[in-house]
Chain A
Amino acid sequence: MNEPIEKMTPEISAFIEEWKSKPGNLIMVLHQVQQTYGYIPRNIAIEISERLSVPLAKIYGVVTFYNFFKLEKAGKYKIQVCLGTACYIRGGDDLLKALEKELGIGLNSTTPDGLFSIEAVRCLGCCGLAPVIVVNGNVHGRLTSKDVPAIIEQYRKQG
């Protein structure tokens, strides 16, 4: 598989410089990378390894330990299905099934056109609106599986 090569942005470069001397900087730098690219690209990880003098293996260890960091690029619209307890008992599971059916993909994967990806998260703290899904930071609450196609359509239209 061809690994995408991402360009190191000046912002991340500056962030690394700023945090270089602070102890425990790795996770904060990875957050910045995750936020910029939506995942941790391998070539960027290699560069971080060199500049912070941290072995690549350690970076891999940290990235794979925390759910927040991804090794693969997410879809343009990242759909997070809350499976926290409150959402689960009010039908979060059904929303996930409906999404999988609507998009024809499974959990933790991306549609072939790169538009949508689905991931499950544990509690977004919107239990009062349960069950919820979040699309690129926008919360859709008090849903039933019937609402799912319309939500997807809304984003699909935007392309």
Chain B
Amino acid sequence: MGKMTLADLRKLRESSKKAMEMRDSENKGARIIISMGTCGIAAGAKETFDAFIEQLMARGMTDVLVSQTGCMGFCQHEPTIEVAVPGMESTVYGDVKGAAVEQIINTHLVGKQVLKDLVLEKPSVDIIKEA
């Protein structure tokens, strides 16, 4: 990246913000965000991460972005993931391992339906976006 000046930082913020908005808006593919703090990893988040990559690759769904994030706080239901599909509200799923991975791909990503058995909630209010 190299050392930035004030102007560089502002430019980077704008472009990163745009990139983030792009993936939030309708024209880009879905995102799967996996909570990978110590708790999540201990509960099997790495295996869940790998399972998503493997199954999405197998189906050729390469436009789905799988990324990691920090603790989502819902330790009771780790591994926890957030699924953001264009045109649908973001959804947090809990206890995502084993067969749940395939169910989420089938129902939520392909079928555009919220998978009721596993859904925890939608994420809490985002103070950054709110402003």
**Which range holds the interface residue count of chain B?**
under 10
Q: Which one of B38, B74, B76, B78 lies within 8 Å of A125 (CB-CB)? A: B38
Query: Contact between A132 and B42 (Cβ–Cβ < 8 Å)?
Result: yes
Q: Mark B69-83, 1 if CB is under 8 A from A, else 0.
A: 000001110100000
Given the complex of chains A and B, what is the CA–CA distance between A128 and B77 in angstroms? 8
Min CB–CB distance A136 → chain B (angstroms): 13
Contacts of B38 in A (CB 8 A): 124-126, 139
Contacts of A124 in B (CB 8 A): 38
Min CB–CB distance B95 → chain A (angstroms): 12
Contacts of B76 in A (CB 8 A): 128
In this assembly, does B39 line the interface, its C-beta being within 8 Å of a C-beta of chain A? Answer: yes
In this assembly, does A129 line the interface, its C-beta being within 8 Å of a C-beta of chain B? Answer: yes
Grouping DSSP codes into helix (H, G, I), strand (E, B) and loop, the A interface class, with mixed when no group exceeds half, is loop
In this assembly, does A141 line the interface, its C-beta being within 8 Å of a C-beta of chain B? Answer: yes
Chain A residue at minimum C-beta to C-beta distance from B41: A139
Given the complex of chains A and B, what is the CA–CA distance between A138 and B42 in angstroms? 7
In this assembly, does A127 line the interface, its C-beta being within 8 Å of a C-beta of chain B? Answer: yes
Q: Which one of B43, B74, B75 lies within 8 Å of A127 (CB-CB)? A: B75
Given the complex of chains A and B, what is the CA–CA distance between A77 and B41 in angstroms? 20
Q: Mark A128-159, 1 if CB is under 8 A from B, else 0.
A: 11001000000101000000000000000000
Q: Mark A113-130, 1 if CB is under 8 A from B, else 0.
A: 000000000001111110
Contacts of A141 in B (CB 8 A): 42-43
Given the complex of chains A and B, what is the CA–CA distance between A125 and B42 in angstroms? 11
Q: Which residues in window 43-82 of A have CB below 8 A to B? A: none
Min CB–CB distance A151 → chain B (angstroms): 14
What are 23 A-B contacts defined by CB distance under 8 Å? A124-B38, A125-B38, A125-B39, A126-B38, A126-B39, A126-B42, A126-B75, A127-B75, A128-B39, A128-B74, A128-B75, A128-B76, A128-B78, A129-B39, A129-B42, A129-B43, A129-B75, A129-B78, A132-B42, A139-B38, A139-B41, A139-B42, A141-B43
List 7 other contacts, CB 8 Å, given A129-B43, A129-B78.
A124-B38, A125-B39, A126-B38, A126-B75, A127-B75, A128-B78, A139-B38
